[in-house]
Copies of this chain bind each other. A is one copy, B any other.
């Protein structure tokens, strides 16, 4: 109903004045799209669902599988057997990328290709809104954080490969963060992780910069592919001293990949990353789409200060991939708009003090305490040692919370041993071989509401009481 001709014909059915007003609305939709395409940035205000669906419909109709008269004679023509599936992918069935490049344009799928390009532009804008203003390029990868780290390191490796010495740069220096995926990403890449234990600062654990530099010198910068640093993490680990690490990497000419998994929601993390981009060396910084942007699991955004390197990562990806992560993010970004995303960030920031205080109150009520961690404003911990009683074992508290419908908390005994991809860890979960006592961590993450906090602390309180009582603690 976009063409003048059709609007004219429509006026043969319905009063022209009304059709004109309707046509104005259609035009105003086109103008919103013009802004999007011209500015390549988030709309200030989120789009309504009808407008989003209409854009997706336009994009779908631009893909060859939806051409009414397409004659498809390839081995992959995006034929879809199930209507349920066709509807859920909005008729966009060609996936993303081509053999050459995950960001490449597909001749058969102009609409899908445009969606990918736009998604990357808007994602960069999201990063800017969140505070990583020095990011010069971003691509949305159809893989979660662990895989994105793997790709970043493989790309670094490909760039650093010395003919005849395929295995020269094989070490990754890794300030310890007890999370399996990131550790596996190094091993799966065929690299050798070198653990840098954290330094304790009161309750908190932080990057041991001196140990890191010592290790650089010990192994030799020429043999080190990169440092893999981490911002967002479970307390009582604080975010890494990323800026200092970036400077160290610059000084010794070694790579630097930042695992900023859910750090976009914290202005402290984004400030850190932004500074590191400016003042030292960062090759790539990876963030999860689901943990930061409230979409289903499955994607990540990779960005950096150097556009060429970021693009290179996309080019390493072999073959096509699912469009689901990009599509989910595209819809969500249009839905939120700049204002909606800011509002989510602001709401979380405003909720943090309340979350921390309520958590501290519950701890106090049970003779426990909030651990002091000044460099982490997403994850918080309370000690649970007293509630364990004579047994000293906190493990059962985890099951109790699970069965009472509390999800996302972690009980850390500090005594667990784990073997990951052949590497042994003591005190796994605690980011340290021997953390002083058992604790519980919980997160105040984006999308949480005050009601969520109240529900959580109420249930935690009740569970701690039962747990204490079960352990004979009065």
* CB-based contact A319/B147 at 8 Å: yes
Interface membership of A277, Cβ < 8 A: no
Interface membership of A395, Cβ < 8 A: no
Give chain B residues whose Cβ lies under 8 Å from the Cβ of A332: 81-82, 85
Which segment of A129-137, A216-224, A249-257, A295-303 sits at the interface? Answer: A295-303
Which segment of A2-10, A204-212, A267-275, A465-473 sits at the interface? Answer: A2-10
What is the copy number of this chain in the assembly? 4
* CB-based contact A107/B15 at 8 Å: yes
Interface membership of A214, Cβ < 8 A: no
* CB-based contact B294/A407 at 8 Å: no
Which 6 residue pairs spanning A and B have beta carbons closest together? A74-B408, A95-B297, A298-B322, A146-B319, A22-B62, A324-B324
Interface membership of A346, Cβ < 8 A: no
Residues of A243-266 at the interface with B, using a CB-CB cut-off of 8 Å, are: 261-262
* With A57-B54, A180-B99, A323-B297: A188-B318 Cβ-Cβ less than 8 Å: yes
Interface membership of A181, Cβ < 8 A: yes
Give chain B residues whose Cβ lies under 8 Å from the Cβ of A279: none
A30 touches which of B3, B54, B67, B85 (Cβ 8 Å):
B3
Interface string of A335-354 (1 = CB under 8 A from B): 11000100010000000000
Give chain B residues whose Cβ lies under 8 Å from the Cβ of A407: 64, 70-74, 77, 108
A34 touches which of B6, B55, B318 (Cβ 8 Å):
B6
- Whole-angstrom CA separation of A232 from B378 in the bound complex: 50
Task: Using C-beta atoms within 8 Å of the partner chain, give the interface range for chain A.
Answer: 35 or more
Interface membership of A400, Cβ < 8 A: no
Give chain B residues whose Cβ lies under 8 Å from the Cβ of A21: 62, 64, 110, 402-403, 405
* With A9-B34, A402-B21: A105-B14 Cβ-Cβ less than 8 Å: yes
- Whole-angstrom CA separation of A28 from B318 in the bound complex: 35
- Whole-angstrom CA separation of A316 from B21 in the bound complex: 29
Residues of A51-69 at the interface with B, using a CB-CB cut-off of 8 Å, are: 51-55, 57-64, 66-69
Sample (12) of A-B pairs whose CB atoms are under 8 Å apart: A13-B37, A17-B402, A21-B403, A22-B111, A51-B68, A73-B448, A76-B290, A82-B331, A84-B331, A93-B295, A146-B320, A158-B188
A99 to chain B, nearest CB (A): 3
